[in-house]
Amino acid sequence: MKVGEALAAYRTERKMIVQERRELYKRKESLEKRINATEGGRERYADEAASLELSINNVNARFEENLKVLDQLTEQEAAVWNAEVSRQQADVMEDAAIEMGKIMEVAHRIAKGAIVPASDEKKLLEYSFEMYQAAKSMGAMVQMQKKREKYDSLWDDEEEEEQEYDPAGKAYNAETDIGLPPSAAEAGDGAALELRG
C-alpha cells in the first residue's frame, strides 16, 4: 500500500472516530443531566452509565492507536520527501561542481595558449571577467613561445538531461507495510478505491 493512500485512509478513520467520540460525550452529558434531574438517578442509570463509559474508553483507545499509526506514516512520508529533496540538492551541487571544473579547464587551456571555442571563452567570461582576463594575459605570453593546441568545446557534446523532482509524489507513492485501518478494511476494496479518488 502506498503511504499517501494509507494516510488518507487513517485520516478518514480518525474523522469517524472523532465524530463517534463527540456523540458519546454528548450522550454522557445528557445522561449526567438525567441522573442529576432524577431522584435516585445514580442507581437507576448505573448500567447505562457504565456501558457508556466503556464505549468512551474504547473509542479513546482507538483514537490513540490511530494517532500512533498516523505519526508513523507521517514520519515515513517525511523521510521519503527529505531523501528526494536531498537527492535533488546533491544533483544540483554535482552539476555545479562539473560546471566549475569545465570553467577551470577552459581557463587553464586559455592560459597555456591553446585555442578554445568562442562559446567556451564566453562561458568563462560570464563566470568571471577577472579569471578570463588573467587566463588571456597568460595565454598571450605563452602564444609567442610555442605552437598552440586547439580544443573542442566542453559544453557542445552535452545532452541536457532534465530530471524531474517530485518530493510530494515520491512521498505519496512510497510503499508502506502499514495496512488499512480497521474501518476501511472491513468495508472491503471499494472503500480503499474511494479514498484514492
Say what the pLDDT of residue 113 is: 87
With contact defined as beta carbons under 8 Å apart, do 195 and 9 qualify? yes
Listed by start position, the domains of the chain span: 3-157+180-196
For the chain, what is the mean pLDDT?
A: 85
Give residue 161's pLDDT.
Answer: 57
Residue 88 grid coordinates: 535533488
Contact predicate 3/80, CB 8 Å: yes
Q: Which cell numbers in the block locate residue 85?
A: 529533496
User: In this structure, what is the dihedral angle of CA atoms 173, 179, 182, 183, given to the nearest 10 degrees?
Assistant: 20
3-state helix, strand, coil split of the chain in percent (to 5) is: 75, 0, 20
Q: What is the pLDDT of residue 191?
A: 46
Residue with cell 566549475: 100
Amino acid (1-letter code) at residue 180: L
Interatomic CA distance for residues 35 and 42, integer angstroms: 6
The torsion angle over the Cα atoms of residues 114, 120, 124 and 125, rounded to 10 degrees, is 100
Residue 125: the pLDDT is 92
The neighbour count for residue 174, using CB atoms within 10 Å, is 19
pLDDT for res 102: 93
Q: Residue 153: which of 179, 116, 100, 194 has the closest Cα?
A: 116
**pTM for the full model?**
0.58
Q: What was the pLDDT predicted at 178?
A: 81
Q: Residue count of the chain, please give it.
A: 197
Residue 137 to residue 125: CA distance in whole angstroms? 13
Residues of the chain with pLDDT under 70: 144-148, 156-163, 184-185, 187-197
Grid-cell match 494509507, residue found: 6
Write down the pLDDT at residue 8. 92
Output the pLDDT for position 189.
52
